[in-house]
Amino acid sequence: MIDRLAILGATGDLSARFLLPALAALRAAGHTGDALRVTGASREDWDTGRYRAWAAERLGRHGGGLPAGAGEAVVSALHYRRADVTDPADVAAVVAGEGPVAVYLALPPALFPAAVTALHAAGLPDGSRIVLEKPFGEDLAGARELNRLLAELVPERAVFRVDHFLAMTTVQNVLGSRLANRVLEPLWNSTHIAEVDITWDETLALEGRAGYYDRVGALKDMVQNHLLQLLCLVAMEPPLTLGERDLRDRKVDVLRSVRPLTEHDVVHRTRRARYLPGRIGDREVPAYAEEEGVDPARGTETFAEVELELDSWRWAGTRFRLRSGKALGADRKEVAVHFRPVPHLPFGPGGKSPAREGPGGEARPNVLRFELEPEGLTLDLTGIGAHAHELAPLSLTARMEPQDLPAYGRLLLDVLNGDPALSIRGDEAEEAWRVLEPVLSAWERGLVPLDEYPAGSQGPPPHWW
């Protein structure tokens, strides 16, 4: 295990809300000890004492439920250096020391190339590792250039392009449910599955993140990475093992099978929108364009939806809909697998039943829902209700045990231990950009209108089906 961690961008929101609590969780679980040393680097003119005080306050705010001793141990392991993360001399001082170091780029994606270039000039000890937050680059060309820079610095196996979604218990349970249950895998194809909805709707608005979000938007922030990763786990062929090569090879296969979107497809199969003023619960939310730090002229979307098809034997004829939105009326974070309806119902005269829905009197299709927050699993079925020959909906629900480590704790542990199975490989990062490059291009040219929806609503109404 590497016992040195350097965080570039150590005073930002990512460090405060996720990395520091993750380190405390690792300490509380006994995964790290007194040997671990953490150097934080940022532009603030602080010293180690002030940084430790800041970190202790943030751990108190975001590390709820963790033992006080674990937080105190993490704080005592922190050191701080004021640094320009694009300056080789400053970066060299941050990573200096004996033995390999894991360098976490807790930075805006636009700074990745300059920071990696500075690391290359500064030099890293053998066995060191680089950690990058999503999105990996800002477009396909940027991802390719970033991969080139990284390849000159460390081996691919030492590059951790992390996506914390992959470390969430319920996300991993998509694979677990598929591969550990004989009843599901024979049905896991287009013959039985009509469509899959991968949704991350949230009531949260910007919450002070305008400086980052307004330059990224919902498509890059959520769909291009998190939701495409979920698509890979749902649609991949069963891997031989869950080791780094087998798992990541199968994920790349899925992305390569995504049918390229034409301009016509983008116009008719994608949506973008941003929120207007509205009310969510007991709070009034201003329009996105009026939020502090937002430049309305950028036309940044807070809602994005894309429908994809896969050109593969298993999935020909199944629709995959990826959707994410902010400032909506309710949180809905799930993967919903919609099975096709049964071909015939013998209940009632002519096969009709009060439980039938939809055009043509079709039966309610079965839906398997992987609920991501809160974590759970629900299977919607149909059975006989209180009256003979009358169908009624049934739901089988399971709640998951809380995971032993937060998602960022699991990712940091993998980084320190050198296990890249849950990180994104370079070719996978590029394929994910390839999938959405036509959408980015068409949206930039205004081919898809920027719709609007009131904050607290269900989002913009669908307009193509």
Dump the DSSP string for 259-308: PPPPHHHHHHHEEEEEEESEEETTEEE--GGGSTT--GGG---SEEEEEE
Looking at residue 393, the DSSP 8-state letter turns out to be: E
As a whole number of angstroms, the distance between CA 280 and CA 283 comes to 6
All residues at 6 or more sequence positions from 262 whose CB lies less than 8 Å from its CB, including other chains: 438
- Which structure tokens are listed for 351? 């096969």
CA 446 to chain centre: 26
By the 10 Å C-beta count (0-12 exposed, 13-18 middle, 19+ buried), 187 is classed as middle
Burial class (CB in 10 A: 0-12, 13-18, 19+), 220: buried
Spatial separation of the C-alpha atoms in residues 456 and 327, rounded to whole Å: 6
d(CA 113, CA 454): 38
Tell me how crowded residue 434 is: count the other CB atoms within 10 A of its CB: 15
What DSSP string describes 309-332?
A: -B-STTTTT-EEEEEEESS-SS-E
For β-strands 4-8 and 37-42, DSSP reports them as parallel
Question: In whole angstroms, what separates CA 351 from the centre of its chain?
Answer: 44
C-alpha torsion sign, points 322, 327, 330, 331: positive
> CA-to-CA distance for 369 and 372, rounded, in angstroms?
9
Q: What SS3 state is found at 351?
A: helix
The residue count for the chain: 465
Residues marked active site are found at 226
| Collapsed DSSP state (helix, strand, coil) of residue 112 | helix
DSSP string, 194-250: EEEEEEEE-S---TT-HHHHTTTHHIIIIIIIIIHHHHHHHHPPPPS-SSHHHHHHH
DSSP state of 454: E
